[in-house]
Amino acid sequence: MDEIMRRRVYGADHDDPDPGPRPGREYRELVGGPLDGLLLDVTGWTPVALADGSALVTEIGAYGPGGRAEYGPRADEPGKWDWRGDTP
């Protein structure tokens, strides 16, 4: 858990003095692709949304600013979301 508490959360400002996870929140680890290693706050997401995954806005993907990186749950480790590819 200590390792997770030192990680950056997707969407945190780059100049945020504390860009890590917050107590009482639920996170998924993003694996692979342009957002590798970030944590995604999924607190309050429905079971359907958690099963579907998400297309996350990123400037560092294949399509540059405004592009999205798609991530979805790993079958055997739902706490980790694997990169599925980039979309415009």
Total-model pTM: 0.88
pLDDT tens-digit profile of 21-57? 999 999 999 999 999 999 999 999 999 999 999 999 9
Rounded Cα distance, 22 and 48, in Å? 24
Asked if 26 and 1 touch (Cβ cutoff 8 Å), the reply is no
Helices and strands, number each (H, E), in the chain: 2, 5
